[in-house]
């Protein structure tokens, strides 16, 4: 009998708790924060997903609106960063001989839906089963601007102007990649509440891209004299930097039309870092606390 009485007491307590929670109005609020960390790239100049040699500085401004419940949020971000990549860090003899390198700046605006796995708020303001931390995922849409450059004799040149794979020349029917592209963010993270107004977390957000020219490497080698005539000597030099390049007396190039990149796979970039977020409460429509 004592067991049944204990069970009945627990049921009554839980029922009263959920009745109170059910009557509690979720407090809408906004979160403003920063992601400070790095930017990573994967593509033709980093086929084995090397992290150490392809991680550059990156940061994001985060503005998240929580107006539904403690699980769902909608946020807008502005992100910027830069990565570097080079064939010299590859263990593949073919890639080492290719000898290409790039430094790319990226600026991005994004809108994302965020889902918390646990019921979570900074400060745990809404009564109920509030966790002090939660894993989360996000996805959405983004537009980004990218500007790849390469170094030649101590000077960095904008590769989009060089058309190193013959884009836009009179001989090759290849289209120059647009400087502004669309991407799909796909990310995970974990965050925790520090106090009533501040939260901290760790986040990694990949971007699915629809271009293969983030690193200016995609298809095959072209005839350097065409670039020399239409884009200049720097473009011709940057198009083929192979260590074993052979040119005979008839200007026959050993790499002509050979593979330079892999156009069947698109590039990726990601932002990873620590997030610091501040909560800003709505003052409208609040009921007094008792």
Residue 8 forms part of a structural domain: no
How much is the pLDDT for 1? 52
Say if residue 93 is exposed, middle or buried (CB neighbours under 10 Å; 0-12, 13-18, 19+).
exposed
How much is the pLDDT for 67? 87
Residue 2 forms part of a structural domain: no
| Tens-binned pLDDT, residue by residue, of the chain (290 aa) | 554 454 455 445 444 444 444 445 778 899 999 999 999 999 999 987 778 888 899 999 999 999 888 899 999 999 999 999 999 998 888 899 999 999 999 999 999 999 999 999 998 877 665 778 999 999 999 999 999 999 999 999 999 989 999 999 999 988 999 999 999 999 999 999 999 899 999 999 999 999 999 999 999 999 999 999 999 999 999 999 999 888 876 677 888 889 999 999 999 999 999 999 999 988 654 444 43
Residue 11 forms part of a structural domain: no
As a whole number of angstroms, the distance between CA 131 and CA 195 comes to: 13
Provide CB contacts within 8 A for 93, sequence distance 6+: none
How much is the pLDDT for 3? 47
Residue 158 forms part of a structural domain: yes
Conformational region of residue 251, where left means phi above 0, alpha means psi within -120 to 50, and beta covers everything else: left
As a whole number of angstroms, the distance between CA 252 and CA 245 comes to: 11
Q: How many CA atoms lie within 13 A of 15 on its CB side?
A: 6
Q: Which of 202, 201, 208 is nearest to 186 (CA)?
A: 208
As a whole number of angstroms, the distance between CA 120 and CA 132 comes to: 7
Residue 243 forms part of a structural domain: yes
Cα distance from N-terminal residue to C-terminal residue, the chain? 37
CATH code (residue 193): 2.40.160.20
Q: Which of 256, 231, 255 is nearest to 243 (CA)?
A: 255
How much is the pLDDT for 130? 73
Residue 14 forms part of a structural domain: no
Residue 261 forms part of a structural domain: yes
How much is the pLDDT for 124? 80
For the chain, what is the domain count?
1
Residue 6 forms part of a structural domain: no
As a whole number of angstroms, the distance between CA 41 and CA 184 comes to: 15
Q: Where in the sequence is the domain holding 208, given as residue range(s)? A: 26-281
Provide CB contacts within 8 A for 119, sequence distance 6+: 69, 70, 71, 128, 129, 130, 131, 134
In this structure, what are the phi and psi dihedrals at residue 22, rounded to the nearest 5 degrees? -65, -25
């Amino acid at each position: 009998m004592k067991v049944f009485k204990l069970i009945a007491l627990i049921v009554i307590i839980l029922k009263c708790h959920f009745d109170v929670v059910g009557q509690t109005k979720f407090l809408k609020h906004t979160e403003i924060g920063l992601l400070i960390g790095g930017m990573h790239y994967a593509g033709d100049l980093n086929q084995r997903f090397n992290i150490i040699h392809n991680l550059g500085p990156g940061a994001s401004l985060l503005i998240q609106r929580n107006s539904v419940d403690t699980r769902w949020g909608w946020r807008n971000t502005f992100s910027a960063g830069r990565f570097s990549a080079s064939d010299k860090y590859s263990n593949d003899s073919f890639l080492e001989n290719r000898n290409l390198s790039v430094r790319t700046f990226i600026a991005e605006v994004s809108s994302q839906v965020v889902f918390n796995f646990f019921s979570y708020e900074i400060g745990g303001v809404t009564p109920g089963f509030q966790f002090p931390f939660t894993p989360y995922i996000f996805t959405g849409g983004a537009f980004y601007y990218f500007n790849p450059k390469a170094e030649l004799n101590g000077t960095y040149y904008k590769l989009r102007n060089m058309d190193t794979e013959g884009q836009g020349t009179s001989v090759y029917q290849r289209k120059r990649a647009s400087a502004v592209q669309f991407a799909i963010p796909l990310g995970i993270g974990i965050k925790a509440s520090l106090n009533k107004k501040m939260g901290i977390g760790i986040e990694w957000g990949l971007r699915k891209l629809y271009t293969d020219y983030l690193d200016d490497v995609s298809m095959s080698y072209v005839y350097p004299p065409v670039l020399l005539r239409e884009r200049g000597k720097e473009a011709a030099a940057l198009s083929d930097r192979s260590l074993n390049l052979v040119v005979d007396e008839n200007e026959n190039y050993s790499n002509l039309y050979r593979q330079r990149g892999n156009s069947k796979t698109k590039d990726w970039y990601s932002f990873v870092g620590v997030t610091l977020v501040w909560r800003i409460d709505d003052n409208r429509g609040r009921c007094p606390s008792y």
